[in-house]
Amino acid sequence: MNYNLELQKIELKLKEVVIIEDRIALLKQAINIADVNNDLDWGFDFRLNLIAEEVNTARCVESFSAFSWILDTWEKNQDLFSENEFLWEYKWMANASYRNVNISREQVEKILEDLKLRMQRNGFSLRGYYSVLIAWNQFLGDSKQAEHFIELREAEARDDMSHCPACELDTKVVMELLKENYDEAIVQAHDLINKRVTCAHMPFVTLCELSYYLNKAKDPRAHTYYEMAIKELELIDKSDSSVLSTVSLLINYMIDNDRKKGLEYFEKYSCWEPEAEDSIRFTFSKNCLRLFESDKNQKMNLSPKFPLYNSDDLYNFKQLYIYYFELAVNLADKFDKRNGTDFFKNNLYKEINK
C-alpha cells in the first residue's frame, strides 16, 4: 500500500476515535510510517498532533522526544517549516520541563529564555511568555514574582500566543487564594463561575481551587464550589487524565467532609498516578495522604498498574500511607534541591500536620 494513502487513512480514523490513549497509539503508528519513508511533512504534523493529545493526559512521555525532533527538523529545514507553527506547543513543553525532576533549573531557564526569543523573533507580544513565567514562579513558591509577571502580562497586547482569558483570569484567582484574600478571589472568579469565560477545563479548575482553599480556611462557602466542581467534572472527557492533580484537590476536600466519597474518587482516579508527571504525582500523593491515617484493611478495586496492587483487592491503609508519604517526600526533596527552595517540603508537612 502507498504510505501516503496509509497515513491518510490514519488521519481519517483519528477523527472517529474517542479515547485519548487510542489516538496517541494511532499517532505513534503514523509517525513511524512517516519516518520510515523519510516524510518530514507528515512527521512534523503528526508530532504536533501527538503533543496536543498528550497534553490531555497526566503524563509527558512522548512529547519530549517529539518536540526535540520538531526543533531539530526546523533548524535543518527552515525553508520548509515556519517557526511559529510550533510555538504554542513550545509553551506546553516549557511548562512540562519544570514539572520533571530530571530537568535541571538551568535547563528550565534556558528553555524559557529560548521560548521568549522565538516569540519575539516571530512578532508576538510577551503576554503568553509571561503566563508561562507566572506558572513557573508559582511552582517555585515565589508569589511576589508571580504577581510581578501578572502585572507585566496585563501590560502586553493579546495575540495568538496569549493564554485564553479564562486561564489568565484563573491565575489571578489563585494569587488571591494564596494571599488568603478569599472574598477578592471569589470576586475575581465571578466570570469563570458564571461561565462568561471558559476553556477546556474552566471553570472546573477554578471551582476546585476555591473549594480546596476555602475548606482549608474552614470557610463554609467551600461546599458550594465543591458541588459545582463535581457537576463540571461530569462534563469532562473521562479519558482526560490531565485533570488528576485538580481532582486531588476535591479528594482533599472530601477527606474532611465526605471520606467515603474521597475513597471512591481515589479508587477511580489513582490508576493515573504511577505514570503521571513528577509534579502531578507529588500533588496527588500529598492531597490523598490523610485518607489513609489508620491501620485498617479495606477492599478497593485498584488498577494492576498500582505498585501495591493486590489481586484479592484487599489493601492496608498504613501501607498505602507509607507508599504515598515516601513518594511525596522523595519528590519534594528532588524538586526543592533542583529549585533551590524548601517550598515542596513545607507544602507536604503543612498538609500532614493539619
Gap between the Cα atoms of 9 and 16, Å rounded: 11
DSSP 249-264: HHHHHHHHH-HHHHHH
Mean of pLDDT values over 244-260:
98
Gap between the Cα atoms of 128 and 100, Å rounded: 21
Mean of pLDDT values over 213-222:
98
pLDDT tens-digit readout, 49-78:
999 999 999 999 999 999 999 999 999 999
Residue 1 clears pLDDT 90, i.e. is over it? no
- Residue 354 pLDDT grade (very low, low, confident, very high; cuts 50, 70, 90): low
**519513508: which residue's cell?**
37
Residue 134, Cβ density class (10 Å: 0-12 exposed, 13-18 middle, ≥19 buried): buried
Beta-carbon contacts of 34 under 8 Å, excluding residues fewer than 6 positions away, are: 3, 7, 40, 42, 43, 46
Q: Give the CA angle between residues 78, 158, 53 to the nearest 5°.
A: 60
Beta-carbon contacts of 5 under 8 Å, excluding residues fewer than 6 positions away, are: none
- Residue 333 pLDDT grade (very low, low, confident, very high; cuts 50, 70, 90): very high
Mean of pLDDT values over 12-24:
95
Give how far Cα 267 sits from Cα of 231, 264, 302, 313, 353, Å.
Answer: 19, 5, 6, 11, 24
SS3 199: strand
Give the three cell numbers for residue 153. 502580562
pLDDT tens-digit readout, 75-129:
999 999 999 999 999 999 999 999 999 999 999 999 999 999 999 999 999 999 9
Crossing angle for the helix pair 127-140 and 143-154, to the nearest 10 degrees: 170
Mean of pLDDT values over 237-262:
97
pTM: 0.96
pLDDT tens-digit readout, 133-153:
999 999 999 999 999 999 999
Q: What pLDDT is stored for residue 353 in this prediction?
A: 85
Mean of pLDDT values over 278-306:
96
Mean of pLDDT values over 167-187:
98
pLDDT tens-digit readout, 336-350:
999 999 999 999 999
Share of the chain above pLDDT 70, in %: 99
Give the three cell numbers for residue 94. 516549557
Give the three cell numbers for residue 241. 487524565
- Residue 286 pLDDT grade (very low, low, confident, very high; cuts 50, 70, 90): very high
Q: How many Cα neighbours within 13 Å face the side chain of 316?
A: 5
Mean of pLDDT values over 326-330:
98
Gap between the Cα atoms of 98 and 69, Å rounded: 20
Gap between the Cα atoms of 77 and 71, Å rounded: 10
Beta-carbon contacts of 267 under 8 Å, excluding residues fewer than 6 positions away, are: 300, 301, 302
Gap between the Cα atoms of 27 and 300, Å rounded: 34
Task: Tell me the pLDDT of the chain averaged across its residues.
Answer: 97
Gap between the Cα atoms of 134 and 126, Å rounded: 12
Share of the chain above pLDDT 90, in %: 98
